[in-house]
Amino acid sequence: MELLKKMILENGHIINENVLKVDSFINHQVSPSLMKEIGSEFYNYFKDNKITKIITIESSGIAPALMTAINFNVPMVILKKQTSSILNENVYQTNVKSFTKNTTYKLTLSKDYISKEDKILIIDDFLASGEAAKGAIKLIENAGAEVSGIGIIIEKSFQSGRKTLEDQGYRLYSLARIKSLQNNAIEFLD
């Protein structure tokens, strides 16, 4: 997606060779025009998959997931990051290791907002090692629902996430694929 690549090159900050900061248009301040285009792009790619719900992870996935949900005209569900276990029969929970914070949180989904008939599109901001996506998949599959696709805004292709998810047979679409952040330069795959 050309607009996204342009914004990454102009406004992205390399924190180190593994982490890119995009706070001015995705993670802290959000660009509505970019999110609108992202929503259309994910819709066009996954529109034949009979998606019934968009699922994302709080908080940076919410803006792109909502724009995607508007295009599909389906609800968006936000997976919560809890710090402790919820002793409640009405939720699915799984542990996820945070890539950027080096902590573990409990990804949480209420049973009220998913059913085994659902075909889910997962949307998230970054793909690194795939832990967040794997956690989301686990909750969705625990509910008996189907993961029909995974849409990522920025994939760091030099990390293991894509391979992990593709090896498990999931359909993955990333809007920007970063080959390298080495030597203080952002290099795209294509």
**Which positions from 91 through 150 interact with ligand 5GP, judged by CB under 6 A?**
99-100, 124-132
Q: Does 20 bind ligand 5GP (CB under 6 A)?
A: yes
Stretch that binds ligand 5GP, among 19-27, 71-79, 85-93, 102-110 (CB under 6 A): 19-27
Looking at the Cβ atoms of 88 and 167, the one nearer to ligand 5GP is: 167
Identify which of residues 72 and 105 has a Cβ nearer to ligand 5GP in the complex: 105
| Contact of 175 with 153, CB cutoff 8 Å | yes
Q: Which of 56, 50, 105 is nearest to 76 (CA)?
A: 56
Q: Which of 138, 128, 131 is nearest to 160 (CA)?
A: 128
- The number of residues in the chain equals 190
Return the number of the residue (69 or 127) whose C-beta is nearest ligand 5GP: 127
Binding footprint of ligand 5GP on the chain (CB under 6 A): 19-22, 27, 57, 60, 99-100, 124-132, 161
